[in-house]
Amino acid sequence: MDNDLLPDLCDAYEDKILWLPVTWQDYGGKSVFSGQIVTLRCFEDNSLVRGILSRPGKGKVLVIDGHGSVNRALLGDQLALLAVQNEWQGIVVYGAVRDVVTLSGLNLGVKALGVCPLKTLKRQSGEENVMLSFADCRIFPGDHLYADQNGIIVTPHPLPNIVE
């Protein structure tokens, strides 16, 4: 995929895309990625992330709504390695990640708000496959996400002529 994919997609499909107006940081070894969205909402507890990333993820991107909290890291090296093993395209965290040196060496797209070295609480709380709402945007399970260093856009259906 082109490294400046998003500007071209926004020009061609402006009426079909939703831009997430967040200043994302890149932490994965792959800065350009796309796929069908799987959603998870959780607050400072990543108990459900392992189960999701244990499933086959070919062509998929996990979007985690961590309520914007950077007090606990919702993704670290072990979960990211699991995602790579199961062929996930990427993970977007509306919250924090950790183990960023390891993350940067993985063939995985990872975007987040920031970094926190603290692990999460383990309360087995969260909601999978729900509509997420952050940054004045609604993201639904099954939507398609496109990401590069220009940011993230979401569409309800895959865009034509884009290889995910």
- Where is the binding site, in residues? 76-79, 98-99
| Distance, first Cα to last Cα, the chain | 9
The DSSP secondary structure of 144-156, one letter per residue, reads EEEEETTEEEEES
114 burial class (0-12, 13-18, 19+ CB within 10 angstroms)? middle
14 burial class (0-12, 13-18, 19+ CB within 10 angstroms)? exposed
Q: How far apart are the C-alpha atoms of 42 and 24, rounded to whole Å?
A: 19
Binding site residue list for Mg(2+) = 99
How many residues are present in the chain?
164
Binding site residue list for substrate = 76-79, 98
What is the three-class DSSP state of 84?
A: helix
What is the three-class DSSP state of 8?
A: helix
